[in-house]
Structures are given as structure tokens and as C-alpha cells.
């Protein structure tokens, strides 16, 4: 009996392409990024797109950067330095706060079960830029958590008309 060489080599070639561990883990085999059509690129979800998904600050594909290491992150994207902030977080029980650029700037950050207040007694400010403003310790589920009743002020104490994006990002541009 003669064996067909194609029947022997095809499975070997497929194993080389997808890797042995891909079979044992039932992974979906996705094409390499260079096969995306012109103008598109591969996102972290392994799909080609003009606007591919990227991992957020927490490493979540297409996420909003809200929860890393057990914290609910309040993000900022500001075109001016700020001297203070206050906001509520709906649908979440706040148990404290830590980190972020507020801590780096030496701000005093106080919390109640629903409100966060940050300011500096020494007059320091949070520079224009973007990143994590403050990390919120919490109880409950963050699925429906959202910033509300936002107040931010510039370095002179004047209120800024900022907006809330994706429920956890404070955005202001002059």
C-alpha cells in the first residue's frame, strides 16, 4: 500500500503554522498582521480594521482603563494645569483613594462613600497632560460606575467646564 505524501505533510505543516499548544488550548488561529488589507492593521482582538482595538492601561483589549489591580481609575486629559477637583462616583461605594498624578503632585485627596475631593494646601498644581488622576478603592461592581457632579478648577481657582468621557475620564481643552 502506498501512502499519499500530501496526507503526511499537510498535518505537519499545519502544526508548524499554528503551534502544538494552540491545538491543546483550542485557540482560534488568526492570520498574521501582514495579511490585513492596505490601510488596516491588526488590533489586539486579532481583527483587521482602520481603527484597531488597543489594550488600555490595564492590559484589557478595547477597555477604558478603569480597573487595574483592584482600583477604579479616574483618568484625565487636560490642556491646562488644575488646582483642584471634586466629583461623585455613582453606583460604587468609595472606601479610599491612592496614587495617580494627584498623589505625585502632593494633593490632599479626601473621600466619602460617594465623593472625591482633591486640592493642594501648598498651591501645587496638576500639570496639563493625560494619565491616571487618582485610583479609587471601592466596594461593589464597577460595571455601572460613573463620575458625576464634576468640578475642576485651574491654578487660580476658576472653574473649568470639563466633560466626562467613558464615565471615568475627565477631559478639558481650552
The model's pTM is 0.63
What was the pLDDT predicted at 31?
A: 53
The domain spans of the chain are: 5-49, 67-172
DSSP string for residues in 15-43: HHHH-HHHHHTTPPP---GGGSPTT-EE-
- % of the chain residues with pLDDT over 90: 52
Residue with the bigger pLDDT between 93 and 52: it is 93
Q: pLDDT at residue 61 above 80?
A: no
Neighbours of 65 (CB within 10 A): 19
Q: Hey, what CATH topology would domain 67-172 get?
A: Immunoglobulin-like (2.60.40)
The pLDDT tens digits of the residues spanning 97-149 come to 999 999 999 999 999 999 999 999 999 999 999 999 999 999 888 889 999 99
Task: Identify the DSSP state of 121.
Answer: S
Find all residues with CB under 8 Å of 103, minimum gap 6, and list them.
109, 134
Return mean pLDDT, the chain: 81
Amino acid at each position: 500500500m502506498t501512502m499519499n505524501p500530501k496526507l503526511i505533510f499537510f498535518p505537519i505543516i499545519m502544526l508548524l503554522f499554528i503551534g502544538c499548544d494552540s491545538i491543546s488550548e483550542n485557540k482560534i488561529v488568526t492570520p498574521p498582521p501582514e495579511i490585513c488589507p492596505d490601510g488596516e492593521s491588526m488590533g489586539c482582538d486579532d481583527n483587521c480594521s482602520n481603527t484597531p482595538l488597543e489594550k488600555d492601561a490595564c492590559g484589557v483589549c478595547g477597555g477604558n482603563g478603569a480597573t487595574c489591580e483592584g482600583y477604579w481609575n479616574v483618568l484625565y486629559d487636560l490642556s491646562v494645569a488644575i488646582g483642584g477637583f471634586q466629583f461623585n462616583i455613582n453606583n460604587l461605594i468609595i472606601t479610599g483613594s491612592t496614587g495617580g498624578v494627584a498623589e505625585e503632585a502632593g494633593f490632599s485627596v479626601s473621600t466619602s462613600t460617594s465623593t472625591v475631593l482633591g486640592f493642594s494646601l501648598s498651591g501645587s498644581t496638576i500639570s496639563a497632560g493625560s494619565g491616571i488622576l487618582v485610583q479609587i478603592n471601592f466596594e461593589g461592581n464597577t460595571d455601572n460606575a460613573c463620575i458625576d457632579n464634576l468640578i475642576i478648577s485651574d491654578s487660580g481657582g476658576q472653574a473649568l467646564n470639563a466633560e466626562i468621557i467613558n464615565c471615568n475620564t475627565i477631559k478639558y481643552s481650552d
